[in-house]
Structure 1
Amino acid sequence: MKYHTLDELRTVAEVEPHGARTLSRSERLGRWAELLERNPHWHLSTLHQTEYQTPEIRAAMRSDHSPLTVAFNDPLLRAAGMADDTYGEARRFFDLEDGQLHEIICYCHFGATVPASSAARHIRTLLTPPRVSLLSRLRQLVFG
């Protein structure tokens, strides 16, 4: 049997760490919320003024002991592909828009720290389909 390095194998096959599996967006978000709910009274660091940063700076933003760090420290989420605990990586990995991640992590909503339970609650709202009003449903039926 011939020995091949991992880099050599990657040229001919898709190589995943042992036990890694693809998680859906809902599974990734659900796992993140679950991790935060395990210690609901933790006060985690926020990121300062994410909405005012350039996309490049915002993508690189991180803070020790943030909700993003909680996610990154989880072996399951790391095996699923979370590369680090930066804003940009969380946006990519959890498939979030800036406004959605801003609601979870930004200083302007919580101050210097956010309770883990609050961050989890915001994440859970992303898993719930938006409610459609009766008027919207009628409009859809009439106008298509």
Structure 2
Amino acid sequence: MKHHTLDQLRGIAQIVPGLSPHVAARRVRLERWAEVLESIRHRHLDTLHETEFQMQDERDALRSDYSPITIAFRDPVLRAAGIADDTYGEAKRFFEISDDELHEIVCYCRFGTTVSAAAAAREVRVILAGRPRNLWSRLSSFFIA
């Protein structure tokens, strides 16, 4: 095995900072998710159908091939931090968010069949801000992409 310094590696590879599973606090994981979504802001992602009407086991198993949760799962930094798959239940566990919070990011009833990555990122940032959702923030998320 040949050893290289970090500076040498930067010349031959893209260095992606990692998050240790023990160090990656909830806030850091949510911030990274928002950043990854913002990096593809104009893409339209799949929503999950009627999350609020599913039984808990069924809801936790919900997934789509191209949802905001899938984008998080595909990110190498979040994968290294411990996200195990792209299901609804895993997103709740990994990001330490409630059903109500995740519903605001991924549910069909909020956005229709697709949600822009920018709108999903805004919803993640609402969670980060810790502000209660008011009527204006709910209406603006429908009309501002």
TM-score range relative to shorter protein: 0.7 to 0.9
Query: Secondary structure, in 3 states, of the residue corresponding to 2:45?
Result: strand
1:123 aligns with 2:124: yes
State the number of aligned residues.
113
1:141 paired residue number: none
Q: CA offsets per residue over residues 10-34 of structure 1, 9 Å max, x none? A: xxxxxxxxx6613010000000000
Give unpaired runs (5+ residues) of structure 2.
Answer: 1-17, 133-145
Equivalents in 2 of 1:100, 1:129: separation in Å?
11
Query: Which segments of structure 1 move beyond 3 Å, counting only runs of 4 or more?
Result: none
Equivalents in 2 of 1:84, 1:129: separation in Å?
26
2:98 paired residue number: 97
Equivalents in 1 of 2:113, 2:120: separation in Å?
13
Give unpaired runs (5+ residues) of structure 1.
Answer: 1-18, 132-144
Equivalents in 1 of 2:19, 2:104: separation in Å?
30
Equivalents in 2 of 1:57, 1:129: separation in Å?
28
Q: How does 1:105-144 map to 2 (within 5 A)?
A: 105-130=106-131
Q: Identity over aligned residues, as a percent?
A: 58
Equivalents in 1 of 2:59, 2:71: separation in Å?
19
Equivalents in 2 of 1:50, 1:85: separation in Å?
15
Q: CA offsets per residue over residues 62-92 of structure 1, 9 Å max, x none? A: 0011000000001111111100000000000
1:33 aligns with 2:50: no
